[in-house]
Amino acid sequence: MTNLIYKAKQLAALLILSMMSTIAMAQIERDTPIKNPMLWADVPDPDVIRVGDTFYLVSTTMHLMPGAPVMASKDLKNWETVGYIFDRLTDSPKYDLAFSLPLDQQQGEGVGTVYGRGQWATSLKYHDGKFWALLAPNEQGRMGDTYIFTAPKAEGPWTIHSRLRHFHDATLFFDDDGTPYVFFGTGEMCQLTRDLKGVVEGSQRNYFRREADETGLLEGTRVIKHQGTYYALLISHVYAPGRHRREVCYRTKDLNATWEKTTVLESDFGGFGYLAQGTIVDTKEGDWYGIMFQDRGGVGRVLTLSPVRWIDGWPMLGDENYRVPEIMRPYKSGQPVTAIVKSDDFDQTKLGLHWQWNHNPVDNAWSLTERPGYMRLKTSRVVPNLYLAPNTLTQRMEGPTCSGYICIDVSKMADGDCAGLTAFNGDSGVLTLKKKGKTLVLEMSEQVVTLTNREKAVTKVDEKMVESVDLTKQLKGKTQNLWLRLDGDFRREGGNRDAANFFYSLDGEQWTQIGTKNYRMVFDYRRFFMGSKFGIFNYATKKTGGYIDVDFFKYECSEK
């Protein structure tokens, strides 16, 4: 009995310590400020709404599938992907990377890829008990037609409600009486029919004219209505001396009247350039916040959070000096820590929402069930290079620094197969294990793709092999596991910004660096138009039938 009492006291003490630890951790989370960038990852063209006590955010992911990710947060700090508006787009074989022939041998309207195209600048709304999303792929012809989707919940399922003509960087807007409008392009708008399946004839018009020095487009429109006034927020590209990229706002109390204009944000931040394009959103308590993105090189376009102060009826973003603050007081305390980039043990039967495929996946060429606890990536067609390879699995990279590594079983690779890990972009640093007959060679290479401007067809891939190591002897036996790691550094200081470094291991503990040290990741709007991604790949150059099994993806990101 004495021993039982002693053990009970021990258990009680442990429970008290655990509770104290939980309270302490909650206090840490409660006291932890929001540091800008709010999301130090590629999350461009944001639209944000609030429904009840939850904020929902959509962003652009272009050629990645599923597309139009929906992220949710209770506190504007911790975000998590909760769904996608569509699984795939099917208007053209371009979405499938279906053409692997040289350009001079390709024919037909479907020739090319959708790198840097696909889904752009989705608008998210909640109206009449439903979620609505409007998006228009940055394409020509039928591929560029606008989609309107709807769903009972932000998580989905989403269904296509209608298709309309192309509206560039558009926003959907419902007036107080339910009348739907689309605001798009540079100061254009039109009224939609009540069923959102057509445009009201004669309703299209310009509601403002840009100023003489606004030589670029005014785009990324987001429209809200507050206290009887309509507000349209747009990014303005100004190239006049002493003027910068900025967020402007137009307002009116009557959609048919003249709109007034002011600049609501013109601020650089963190040693990078000026930022703009996004929206504003209110809390249940009536406070307002602005969410704008900033170009940050290799990591992509990151999201910043600013307070909004209503001054003379204008939503002015920034602190008392009208600048994006480095640190903000948390909106709500005690929320669980969530993330949009995650580790994965592949022990579920469904792919996690943190993953996206490069273009539409070949569904029968990957599996989470054929070998439980592993992601099996099978070759499905013979292709000449990584940029035409189907089923490359991606996640964002994050700043300030991040690291991701995989363990792959390579015992079932076939002759000519190429598998590995890449910092994937138009310029890619690539770790590739190549099966050459009976040999296995690991190469670190620098690869640069050339795309045609219109079709985004792959015309050339320049590959510079920096270092190779023959691992045939080391990868013999029943278990042929190889660990590959990629570290990213996006800090401005230190002289190695946008640096990627590559490593391999034969036991998951001892790592050997290989290839280019501080490989420079590049953001190029002419090709991919997105930040670098972790990419896990496996493709065939001679014959199909081989596969790899990915045991896990382990990820870490440093504190801002």
Give the chain's domain count. Answer: 2
Assign 3-class secondary structure to 342-408: CCECCCCCCCCCCCEEECCCCHHHEECCCCCCCEEEECCCECCCHHHCCCCEEEECCCCEEEEEEEE
To the nearest whole percent, how much of the chain has pLDDT over 90? 84
In a domain, residue 152? The reply is yes
pLDDT for the residue numbered 71: 98
pLDDT at 103 over 70: no
Residues 447 and 316 in one domain: no
Higher pLDDT, 426 or 18: 426
In a domain, residue 339? The reply is no
In a domain, residue 262? The reply is yes
Q: What is the mean pLDDT of residues 351-355?
A: 98
CA distances from 403 to 187, 343, 356, 374 (A): 43, 10, 18, 20
- pLDDT grade for 212, boundaries at 50, 70 and 90: confident
Please write the tens of the pLDDT for every residue from 115-164: 999 999 999 999 999 999 999 999 988 899 999 999 999 999 999 999 99
Dist. CA 296–CA 178, nearest whole Å: 39
pLDDT for the residue numbered 421: 99
pLDDT for the residue numbered 237: 86
- Host domain of residue 301: 43-328
Sign of CA dihedral 126, 127, 130, 136: negative
Higher pLDDT, 466 or 560: 466
Confidence (pTM): 0.92
Residues 193 and 95 in one domain: yes
**What letters, b where the CB count within 10 A reaches 16 and e where it falls short, cover 413-447?**
bebbbbbbbbbbbbbbbbbbbbbeeeebebbbbbb
CATH of residue 79: 2.115.10.20
pLDDT for the residue numbered 54: 98
Q: What is the mean pLDDT of residues 485-505?
A: 92
Please write the tens of the pLDDT for every residue from 153-204: 999 999 999 999 999 999 999 999 999 999 999 999 999 999 999 999 999 9
Among residues 424, 445, 423, which one has the least CA distance to residue 434?
Answer: 445
pLDDT at 16 over 60: no
pLDDT at 332 over 80: yes
Average pLDDT along the chain: 92
C-alpha radius of gyration, the chain, whole number: 25
CA distances from 160 to 13, 168, 357 (A): 57, 19, 21
pLDDT for the residue numbered 12: 45
In the numeric block, the tokens 């039109």 are attached to 190
CATH of residue 540: 2.60.120.200
Domain boundary residue among 309, 328, 347?
328
pLDDT at 7 over 50: no
CB 504 within 8 A of CB 431: yes
In a domain, residue 14? The reply is no
pLDDT for the residue numbered 98: 83
Q: What is the mean pLDDT of residues 266-292?
A: 96
Q: What is the mean pLDDT of residues 27-49?
A: 85
